[in-house]
Amino acid sequence: MRFIDLSHPLRDGLPSFPGDPVLRIEPHCTTASEARCNVSRVAMGTHQGTHLDAMFHFVEDGRTLDQMPLEWFYGPARVLRIPKAAGEDITVEDFAKHEEHLTEGARILFDTGWQREFGTPQFFKDFPSMTQEAARYLASRKLRLIGMDTPTPGRDYYEVHHILLAKEVEMVIVEGLAHLDQLPDEEFTFIGFPLNFAGRDGSPIRAVAMVD
């Protein structure tokens, strides 16, 4: 059994989604200070780096982090290879060719190759983008979790999030995943529990794949 780290490191000044809080990670005290130990202070948004969305991110009466069962964040998963150029659409066809794996309760990650832009402002511009039709298709397959290497599922933020986070769908959305290219073609175990910012909308996660 081995682990593959699916989270990008968090570093001071890492670019954020436009309009989101800037990530600051700074020493608060050090081994040379009166406290004689290193403690850091962090300022961040709840959708910083590799993170997941609670339904409440877009759905005002949707589930907050503390209302999401822990079972949702742990279990069998698969990666789909859907390589895309900057700005290219991710379509129903891109997903439908993997239909055998898109079963009720499945956890699916998809690798567009866009992690190559992580850490640059470009990451948030012109990313490969799921169409509204593709989001509706995924919702119809009743997946438990959809994860991706892009910063957000699609450029139609509002519509795509509402399709996936709706009351009758409640799909966990994991964004900004790393190292999807290192995953095997076979099933693995996905682990990615959010911090419990009770009543809130999302959390950075340490996403990990456990591979046999």
Angle subtended at Cα 150 by Cα 66 and Cα 40, rounded to the nearest 5 degrees: 55
Scanning 41-49, 111-119, 121-129, 131-139 for contacts with its own copies by CB under 8 A, the matching segment is 41-49
Rounded-to-integer distance, Cα 186 and Cα 113, Å: 19
CB 154 within 8 A of CB 177: no
Backbone phi and psi for residue 77, each to the nearest 5 degrees, phi listed first = -150, 165
For residue 47, list its beta bridge partners: none
Residue in 79, 80, 161, 164 binding its own copies, rule: CB under 8 A: 161
Minimum CB separation of residue 205 from its own copies in Å reads: 8
Residue pointed to by tokens 């997946």: 143
Minimum CB separation of residue 5 from its own copies in Å reads: 6
Q: Does 129 bind its own copies (CB under 8 A)?
A: no
Scanning 40-48, 91-99, 121-129, 130-138 for contacts with its own copies by CB under 8 A, the matching segment is 40-48
CB 48 within 8 A of CB 14: yes
Q: Does 128 bind its own copies (CB under 8 A)?
A: no
Rounded-to-integer distance, Cα 192 and Cα 169, Å: 19
Q: Does 60 bind its own copies (CB under 8 A)?
A: yes
Q: Which residues bind its own copies (CB under 8 A)?
A: 3, 5, 7-11, 19-21, 25, 28-29, 31, 35-47, 56-58, 60, 66, 69-71, 74, 157-158, 161, 191, 193-202, 204-206, 208, 210
